Structure 1
Amino acid sequence: MNLLKNLKSILLVVLAPIALTACKKDNNSSTGAPQQNSITVENVLQSQPLVESGTFQETGTPALIQPGQSTTITFSAAKGEALSFATMYGASNDLFFAPSNPGIQVYDGSGKPIEGDVSDQVKLWDNGTRVNQKPGATVNHPGVAESKNITEVAGTDAQGNTYLAASKLVKATLKYNGSSTFTLTLQNTSGGTANQTPLSPGVWSVSYIVGGTLQASNPLYTTGQPTANGLTNIAEAGDNSALSTYVKSITGIFTPLSPILVVVYNGINNPIYNVGQLDAGKGLKPLAQQGNADTLAAYLKTVKGVKAVYVLPAPTTKVLLPQIAGKQGGVVSQQLSVNTGDRLAIATMYGFSNDWFFASADNGVDATQKGDISNTIKLFDDGTAINQFPGAGLTQFNLAGTPLKESNPIGAVPNPNGFTTLPDINKIIKVTLK
């Protein structure tokens, strides 16, 4: 599998170009001489390239998908994301069915969900680890070993054995369920043909798309390269456990953080949001939905008790990218002049969501303290946009979508939630006062 190695395209992910802004106000509640402090915010998420993955099989024992039987895969996807899968041609030495990379496209060019028969996107592949015998029930498993690259079987294999087109043996049908979720039905239609075969339990995956580039464009195999990551176990023996373990290890969270809003205040409660209340219409909505803090920053400058407001974009990228392939995530810092009694709060968008935002819990923190304050940050739902699978939603703004309106009170995002289980917040965002 080839992970994204050129980060140039990722840097195209721009939530909203926002310039550094600041304001200061007199506040009689502050005491003592001003002291210099600084805030540093980092995206420390160890990102993963796959947004979702899983396994499929028949419900019986053994879990083979026999001719006439079918199985389903239900998944979420944003525009440009694709579904890949792999399942063994059971009556062979090491052949498997899979879509061409990066997988089955589920939206057309205009962003309309694709439905119906997509069997023509399913292909037959030779894993390159066993010499092919004539396919059928008499194949001797595992057979004679060889060491070749993965190649497509288009009518005949390297030994001259013949095959119908994969679309004649496996029928793939897409159904759109709404809210960016799909169901793919795989039906074994090989019965009565010269290539009758069971299908093995398989593995499926969906890659994140970032700045128009898939993070895993070859998620399960690479044409013209040796097999890897447990695919051989499927192709030779129909055992999906090793490949499943591998894809689970690279499935998880990927999200940028929008430019960080920082506010210093005194004598008032946290002015950014109120849990249990509707969005007040002062600018939190564009921050939570689009990562644009301009409106909220401008409003906060007018609030009595607010001493300073900053919006901190990352250099070059504006957004704070997560750690990608071991490279450090985005970091921003700001010098502060604070007094005893001052409070501090921040807010930033969970970039690959509909309207989730990280923010300081309750009434923020003592602005004069030092150290790691990441444990004071919580994840909230602004309640202004219908939620979809984070990183796989057609209406998520930063995946070229338009959020769908809802009106619910601001509340904490549960973890696990209805879509996924998130890492601990301090493994996504780190906030330090020095």
Structure 2
Amino acid sequence: MKKHSFKAMLAAALLFGGFAFVACDDDDNPAPGTRPTIELKNMVAVKNYVQSGTIDAVAPGASTTFSFHAGKGQRLMFAAMYSYSNDLFVAPENPGIELFDDAGVPRTGVVANALKLWDNGTRVNEAPGPGVVHPGVAQEGVVTEVNGTDSEGHTYPAASALMQVSLEFDAVKSLFTCTITNTSGNTSNETPFSGGVYVVSNVIDGDLVAKTPFFNRDQKSGVELTALAENGDTAPLYQLVAGQTGIITTLQSAIVVVYTGDTNPIYQLGQKDAQLGLSALAQRGDPKPLRESLSKVPQARHIYIMDHTAQPGESLQCTYEAAENEKVAFAAMFGYSNDWFFANGVALDALTKGDVTSKTVLLDDGTAVNQYPGAGNAQFMFNGTVMSEDKPIEVVGDEFPVPAVADLIKVTIR
């Protein structure tokens, strides 16, 4: 490599500290022309939960089921009213039921000690039973655990004796089925349980977004949980969490290629992955294998990688060398997926300027089985193991409630 090329790369590295830039074939282009900058901004609005829903009421001796997707580190939280009370409810301890062990193995079967019995603190407790008068006498209390007796001295068995929780897991779909059984009929405190509300927290950088989804121990309850705890009314709490539920993602590294000719060197829609390294980018955010392969393609004039993660609100960007009659292509991993990536859907003049988000598409590489975005245990974000498939590259469809591309990413060239 000539000395002037090394200086150009060094200047780029200093100008854009934290980003990686690798150019190919600089010596073949002694008059580089202009130097546009491309920015890929993560436009995702952070949501507390990746999924949420309601649970049916369950009478003594009966069961109900509901299903949800999750990956390692995510938790299940739900709450339901102890109906023969003034304001008691059952729920796990914050942040919810642990669904996987440290090795990523799902918990299945009966979950021992999954639940606790809680006093919402908004009504004076009468003796539990079918004769409880609702709504009862108001009080200004806080959410506390009922551990054997409530604040008025009424006795209760452990929550695990009143309700049993069991889990089944479909590894391909990363789908849990939760069965709730009302076992209170075998105790002195037989009670129906109201309908309930459940959530699965989103994860950012390995941390739960919502660590106290419904309540905080020893603090006042919200009006939404109060409606559930006092009246078995799920609507206010469900409406609250539904508005905080949605798919989010990172931009998990990117590649930019300046090229000649009419063929996008990164991918071809409707054709299978060319095995040049795109799958490494789409599955685990690693652009280096694709850069290495494209460095041997004569039409690929310059190649740049951004081997970093852009969280919601953050950007990946680089400045590239381009000349007239050259085109530019880019790809960035949809980080909360099994093998999805953003790319330009049409050819882009390398010297174009402006917002090109409308020309950006979200694609499925077809090399890994899809799971619910941000809740699939085989996904890279959960250190999962890929389940391979062999399909053509296609535009991501509507199997999952993925936001529109413009709500996920903004691509600008300036």
Shared fold (TM-score greater than 0.5)?
yes
Which residue matches 1:162?
A: 155
Aligned-partner SS, 2:79: strand
1:250-279 deviation per Cα after TM superposition (whole angstroms, max 9, x unaligned): 111221102221111122311101122221
Aligned-partner SS, 2:193: coil
Query: Which amino acid in the other structure matches residue 262 of structure 1?
Result: V
1:425 to 402, 405, 410: 405
Which residue matches 1:49?
A: 48
2:321 to 337, 359, 380: 337
> What displacement does 1:242 show?
0.6
CA distance in 1, matches of 2:112, 2:193: 15
Conservation of the 8 A alpha-carbon contact between 2:161 and 2:187: no
> What displacement does 1:18 show?
7.6
CA, structure 1 residues 33+112, in 2 after alignment: closer, same or farther (shift >3 Å)? closer
Describe how 1:201-280 pairs up with structure 2 within 5 A.
Answer: 201-228=195-222, 230-280=224-274
1:42-93 deviation per Cα after TM superposition (whole angstroms, max 9, x unaligned): 1111121211110011xxxxxx421122111211111121211000000111
TM-score by length of 2: 0.91
CA, structure 1 residues 100+33, in 2 after alignment: closer, same or farther (shift >3 Å)? closer
1:346 to 326, 330, 338: 330
Query: Which amino acid in the other structure matches residue 310 of structure 2?
Result: L
Deviating more after overlay: 106-115 vs 385-394: 106-115
Query: Which amino acid in the other structure matches residue 425 of structure 1?
Result: V
Which residue matches 2:34?
A: 35
Which residue matches 2:12?
A: none
Conservation of the 8 A alpha-carbon contact between 2:116 and 2:160: yes
CA distance in 1, matches of 2:19, 2:371: 26
CA distance in 1, matches of 2:49, 2:410: 23
CA distance in 2, matches of 1:177, 1:301: 41
Conservation of the 8 A alpha-carbon contact between 1:102 and 1:219: yes
> What displacement does 1:340 show?
2.5
1:141-170 deviation per Cα after TM superposition (whole angstroms, max 9, x unaligned): 111111222111011000101111111111
CA distance in 2, matches of 1:24, 1:335: 16
CA, structure 1 residues 82+33, in 2 after alignment: closer, same or farther (shift >3 Å)? closer
1:332-391 deviation per Cα after TM superposition (whole angstroms, max 9, x unaligned): 3322332222211110111111111111113x3122222100111111111111111111
Query: Which amino acid in the other structure matches residue 381 of structure 2?
Result: N
CA distance in 2, matches of 1:348, 1:186: 41
Conservation of the 8 A alpha-carbon contact between 1:88 and 1:94: yes
2:104 to 108, 111, 131: 111
Query: Which amino acid in the other structure matches residue 117 of structure 1?
Result: V
Describe how 1:349-388 pairs up with structure 2 within 5 A.
Answer: 349-362=333-346, 364-388=347-371
Conservation of the 8 A alpha-carbon contact between 1:49 and 1:254: no
Conservation of the 8 A alpha-carbon contact between 2:345 and 2:360: yes
CA, structure 1 residues 21+33, in 2 after alignment: closer, same or farther (shift >3 Å)? closer
Aligned-partner SS, 1:142: coil
Query: Which amino acid in the other structure matches residue 37 of structure 1?
Result: P
CA distance in 2, matches of 1:411, 1:190: 51
> What displacement does 1:199 show?
0.8
> What displacement does 1:27 show?
7.6
- Runs (5+) with no aligned partner, structure 2: 1-17
1:82-118 deviation per Cα after TM superposition (whole angstroms, max 9, x unaligned): 2110000001111001111111122223322221111
Count of residues in Structure 1 that have an aligned counterpart in Structure 2? 396
Identity %, equivalent residues: 44
CA distance in 1, matches of 2:306, 2:379: 23
Cα RMSD after superposing both structures? 2.0
Conservation of the 8 A alpha-carbon contact between 2:304 and 2:320: no
Describe how 1:70-89 pairs up with structure 2 within 5 A.
Answer: 70-89=63-82
